[in-house]
Structure 1
Amino acid sequence: MYGSHNGRFGVRGVAAAAGLLLLLTGCSASDDGKGDGKGDGGRAGASEGADGTGGGNPAGIGQRPADTVPYWVNPDGTAARQVAAYTKDGNEEAAALIRRIAEQPVGEWVGAENPEAEAKGYTEAAAKADRQALLVLYNIPHRDCGQFSKGGAADGDAYRAWVEAVARGIGDRGATVVLEPDAVVHLVDGCTPRQLHEERYDLLRGAVERLKKQPGTRVYLDAGNAGWRTADALFDPLRRAGIEGADGFAVNVSNFQTTADSTEFGRQLSAKVGGKPFVVDTSRNGSGPYTASDSEETWCNPPGRALGEPPTTDTGDDLVDAYLWIKRPGESDGDCRGGPKAGEWWPAYALDLVRAAKKG
């Protein structure tokens, strides 16, 4: 159903008109510490089966109308499994809290080992539910400047082959792709060595071009967050990275900037890149950024944060295509503040995110 676009966002009008039901189930792992749940240092990859389909619906989560939420929810995500575990242990209070995460669609971070199978599994499962997959590609060489989520493809050729495999896996099914969190901003902030810049720009342009050959795929190139740099610093780098060929850009991925600040930042940037629309990661921004510490790692498992607005395409702003949970709430940013390694599920943090949102 989502192999072709319907209006600027592709599926918005189709889902509303058809009154489709979204299969609501779990979610799983991923500004740094995106994590892949496999220990390879990635922001977030599939922690389910190699084909990305998981193993069932352990939490028994049902369906509900979702005319403004066109995205598929993984029926065997980490949060769904946590709900099932808490229910089995008789901890209904904790199960009910984590269910607030498990009942929302989140980004599926495609892993490095089986990209074609994962992309195919996610998009096939989404198509069966009359939804589209929300995928995050995070495998650029020299990823994350050697920080918590270091890693990525071995070289440019390996990366091109990986993107090719993802594209084949998507096929003509519907997918929204968030492309390479931090890849552009780390060219601007100086942590990626200058001798690697031209190759990275070439790889990003190539990835946009290749993915856009798939008829049902929308591509949003990551553009940092409102607390990082001004829009002026990103205009030329995004142009060199291929923003013209993308459907838009993404802001606040895995970060905590408020939706209002993220939207203003996105609008300023949009004005400089031809009026491109954008998506906002609202997964953990319900309390805004952490300001109670002078540490440079205010993005890494900060305390007191909360879930933000649930995923929706009904944003009330023509430039904002969607609020998305690109970062998977409850998964660690890295081994800081007592957290596990990047991308691993951290139930205590997940519970804190929900409780803080409930209070708000």
Structure 2
Amino acid sequence: MDLKEFLLPSRSIEVAITTEDENHKPAILRLKTVIETGYENGFFKIIAPMHHGRLYNFREDELLTITFTTQNDQKKDAFDIKCRVVSREHKGALYTITLRSTSEPQKVQRRQAFRVNIFNTYTFLYKDQQQQLVTKDISSTGLRGLTTMQMFKEDTFDIQFDGNTKDPTEIDPELYAQKVFTIKCRVIDCMPQVEIRRYMQRIQFVEMTASQSKYLIQYLYAKQAEIIFTEGSDTDQRAQMDQYFNAQNENVQVEDATTRRIQLISLISLFVFFFSIVFLLYAQPKPVYGLDRFFDYYRVQAWNSTYYLLALFSSITNIFIGIYGIILNSTKIKSQKDHFNRLLIVTLTLNFIFIIVLVYLFTTVPIFSSNKVY
């Protein structure tokens, strides 16, 4: 491909930059701009694009992806080309960026059809068990849907798809039967949705015939028309989906690292509380037995201040552990189904009571002075 024919002055292009989002994860920023100087010997110049009302600050030697389009035989194709920033120039009110191409153009695969927000429920067999998939949107190449169990990449299953949008009495029975067919699905990605205790599945349709693809696209256009011309249909579908998930009472456990950390903190708090009680028991004076008086044995009746301090310091430390666990737990309360860790709350309450007991003993018993009974 001769880039001189396509990277011409005043042509509109798209610039893709790899950045980081608020969670410090890779994200693609796409900006629109035009070409200032056409392609020549591997170099061309673009007008610096704007981002949020300001010029985007490119760094020299930064790697970019430029997307441009071609028109051939009434068909519009898009291509990507990798480029590096060579220099930045400022002439009057014009800011330009000089780029150098570093790769051959690669054709961009365009989506065959738009995605449509559709609430459908499909039952399928997965690992010899009946499972349910609730779709959020569907396109001609795949769908996004929610399940109650975790699936893995490259897993496959079959769903029975019904592409009819009219009653059987309104269309030819043979055509109606043709629009009901089996679609083979392949899992592309599985992402836990902690707030609703479900898994979001990205599904790709595979091994579809031309007629099946045609019926699927017709179905999507019909559903899109319903959303456009039927007032509130999309809102009704979203409300129906919310009602469906709120009605589910299954306790599907979707644990992440924070949840496991909270559980570990609650166990550590219980463990430290147990040792605090043991230290207090060891700090108490040893009992006087009747045989001691018979044999005229003098037993020291004094508190062990070392064990008392260990009980005090361990309980204070446990208070801070419990408070940290409660604060961490509060960040996970995002829905009515979420709750605080009960073991953590009980242990923290017992620690406060234990601290009160220790303070009471300190004010009423001479723990740090020797008290002998003869």
TM-score interval for Structure 1 and Structure 2 normalised by the shorter chain: under 0.3
Greater C-alpha radius of gyration: 2
* Bigger RCO of structures 1 and 2 (CA < 8 A, at least 6 apart): 1
TM-score (norm 2): 0.20
Q: In proportion to residue count, which structure has more strand?
A: 2
